[in-house]
Amino acid sequence: MVNQRLALVALAGLFAPLTTASRAANFWRRQAASTTAYAPVPSKTPTITPVVPNTSPSYVDSFVKPYGDAFQLNGMPYYFAGANAYWLMNQTDDWVDSAFGNLSAQGIGVVRTWFFNDGWFHTINGTEQAFNDSPEGIGHLDYVVKRARDYGIKLIATLANNWPDYGGVHYYLHQTGYNYHSDFFTQPELIDLYKGYISHMLNRVNNYTGIAYKDDATFFAWELMNEPRCLSYTDIKSQNCTTATMTAWIDDISTYIKSIAPNTMVTIGDEGWFNNPSLVDNWLYDGFNGIDFEANLQLKNIDFGTFHTYPDHGWGAGTTSYDLSFEWGEQWIRQHRTIGAQVGKPVINEEYGFAQRTDRMSFEQYYYSVTEDIGIAGDLFWSFWIAPPDGSPIAENNSPNSTYTPGLNYYVNDTDWPIIRQHIYNMAQQNLPVGEGDFSCFGARNIFCSETVA
Ligand SMILES: *[C@@H]1O[C@H](CO)[C@@H](O)[C@H](O)[C@H]1NC(C)=O
Ligand SMILES: *[C@@H]1O[C@H](CO)[C@@H](O)[C@H](O)[C@H]1NC(C)=O
Ligand SMILES: *[C@@H]1O[C@H](CO)[C@@H](O)[C@H](O)[C@H]1NC(C)=O
Ligand SMILES: *[C@@H]1O[C@H](CO)[C@@H](O)[C@H](O)[C@H]1NC(C)=O
Ligand SMILES: *[C@@H]1O[C@H](CO)[C@@H](O)[C@H](O)[C@H]1NC(C)=O
Ligand SMILES: *[C@@H]1O[C@H](CO)[C@@H](O)[C@H](O)[C@H]1NC(C)=O
Ligand SMILES: *[C@@H]1O[C@H](CO)[C@@H](O)[C@H](O)[C@H]1NC(C)=O
């Protein structure tokens, strides 16, 4: 029997400190190439049995919390490999059933999904905002939350979108007469509208369970926005928007969410851009998008950091030493983990995907190996899809104003699914005790260690 008191063992020395400019410069430029050997690609479903999400009340009714730079649930570590399934809020109940049934069967316990459908869940007209709480509107989310809860699946609930899919910042601007993308982050009228939406959602009482969203441990975290940036391709970019603009907004909104839902974790949903213009002349690292990962992670009400990894979408193909997308992806994962360890908060690789669908197996093996090795607290592939249960054709790209790339989706019958399933299993194994006699450790770097009770 494991003692619930956990001792955080020293992290010192595990990550190179960035104490001098030259060390920092080396760090940003290129970390040592990996020499890890990769297992051969499994040709069929692995024989491992998925560790399915736990549906016991003590698990379902407990909030996931940060524990140093990892997560814990009920005093046990909570490492995970999960999925993005943004579309649950806009599909039928039986489709939601199929999705959670299949996710659970694959051992997936954390799902990130959209808690917005702007123009449908709510309509804005100037400073007026009207909510559609009907069972076809926001009420449908009650079913999503209930079914997640039934399966012991925890939800990362995203409350807005930087992009125009399902409304987003563009919808708010369009309905209020503002033009600059960053007006959303700076104009008091728009901040009030968004806070009004947040308040309405978090205070909602689930029609099936009777539990208010703000009190429901089904929520892993509330998320400010999908990929907030100073810009999008639909709106005018203001030169005034800087990382300071975005950090101030993130501080304000995260504090507001905590004031309503103090038990639920809060995160940003950003892509993890750095703000080190003196170090690297590359848009991922120079603050161009208005995101300073390091500064944002230090905000009081941000519980963990998010980053997204799209190595073959041009993200790794910048200047000089960044032109090898494959190695760039590993570096990107390591850099965020290092900052998380320094700040003392978990970081998750919240979206990753590969445009080269046929080649993605080698990417997956490479990054999973690194992720498991260095103690990334969780990751979520982009994105999970499943055929409609009524047998109608798959329509992956079904959002108004959609920009999603269908080729990025994952189905459980994909040829590389065994690799993902192995990764889901490996991450879950970190939550099981490893040790002998009167001492057990869990997780990467053994940060969860506990004395056992005789
Ligand atoms: C999906 O959203 C659209 C509005 O964008 C709405 O008309 C439709 O009823 C929604 N469908 C479901 C199943 O929620
Ligand atoms: C998985 O999805 C398929 C297709 O929608 C569905 O028929 C099946 O019942 C689902 N499995 C579970 C366990 O829910
Ligand atoms: C917004 O409100 C104005 C003034 O009440 C009204 O004339 C207009 O039709 C409304 N527009 C929408 C889209 O509801
Ligand atoms: C709440 O549940 C009742 C009874 O099942 C149902 O009639 C009503 O439409 C539901 N409301 C919402 C918003 O889902
Ligand atoms: C989609 O874009 C059009 C054109 O900008 C806009 O009128 C409409 O409101 C957008 N739809 C949503 C749901 O944001
Ligand atoms: C940018 O800042 C200047 C000076 O504070 C201000 O006059 C201008 O309106 C701002 N522009 C935008 C688009 O916010
Ligand atoms: C996987 O399932 C989907 C939906 O049922 C189907 O469209 C697709 O062809 C299948 N892919 C493979 C590789 O069998």
pLDDT average, residue stretch 6-14: 30
How many CB atoms neighbour CB 137 within 10 A? 15
pLDDT digits (tens, 9 = 90+) for 51-76: 778 888 989 999 999 999 999 998 88
User: Is 46 inside any structural domain?
Assistant: no
**Residue 415: pLDDT above 70?**
yes
Annotation says 227 is catalytic: yes
- Could you tell me which residue, 149 or 434, shows the higher pLDDT? 149
Measured N-to-C along each axis, helices 325-343 and 360-374 cross at an angle, to the nearest 10 degrees, of 20
Give me ligand 6 centre to Cα 238, in Å. 8
189 is catalytic: no
| Structure token digits, residue 205 | 């009482």
Let me know if residue 45 belongs to a domain. no
By residue range, what is the domain housing residue 205? 7-26+60-451
Count up the domains in the chain and report the number: 1
Catalytic hit among 271, 350, 351, 364: 351
User: What is the CATH number for 136?
Assistant: 3.20.20.80
Question: Using CA positions, which residue lies closest to atom 6 of ligand 6?
Answer: 240
Strand 80-84 vs strand 128-131: parallel, antiparallel, or unpaired? unpaired
Q: Which of 96, 207, 208, 209 has most ligand 4 atoms within 8 Å of its beta carbon, as the pocket-test mutant?
A: 207
For residue 149, tell me if it sits in a domain. yes
Ligand 4 neighbour 208 (Cβ under 6 A): no
Residue 31 in any domain: the answer is: no
In this structure, is residue 425 part of a structural domain?
yes
Asked if 158 contacts 227 with a C-beta cutoff of 8 angstroms, the reply is: no
Helix (H, G, I), strand (E, B) or coil at 360: helix
Question: Can you give the pTM of this predicted structure?
Answer: 0.88
Say yes or no to pLDDT of 316 above 80.
no
Token couple for 319 = 């200047």
Residue in the block written with tokens 């309905």 = 175
Q: How far is CA 182 from CA 78, 234, 248, 268, 417, in A?
A: 36, 12, 12, 16, 39
Q: Looking at ligand 7, which residue's alpha carbon is closest to its atom 8?
A: 413
Q: Within 6 Å (CB) of ligand 1, which residues are found?
A: 90-92, 117, 120, 136, 140, 400
- Close Cβ partners of 422 (under 8 Å, ≥ 6 residues apart): 42, 46, 48, 368
pLDDT of residue 391: 84
**Quick check: 356 pLDDT over 70?**
no
Query: What spacing in Å lies between the alpha carbon of 173 and ligand 5's midpoint?
Result: 10
Residue whose CA lies nearest to ligand 6 atom number 8: 240
Residue 43 lies in a domain: no
Higher pLDDT pick, 25 / 408: 408
**Residue 341 domain-assigned (yes or no):** yes
Q: Is residue 36 assigned to a domain?
A: no
| 347 three-state secondary structure | strand
Q: Mean pLDDT for the chain?
A: 84
- CA dist 429 and 15 (Å) reads 23
3 state SS of 74: coil
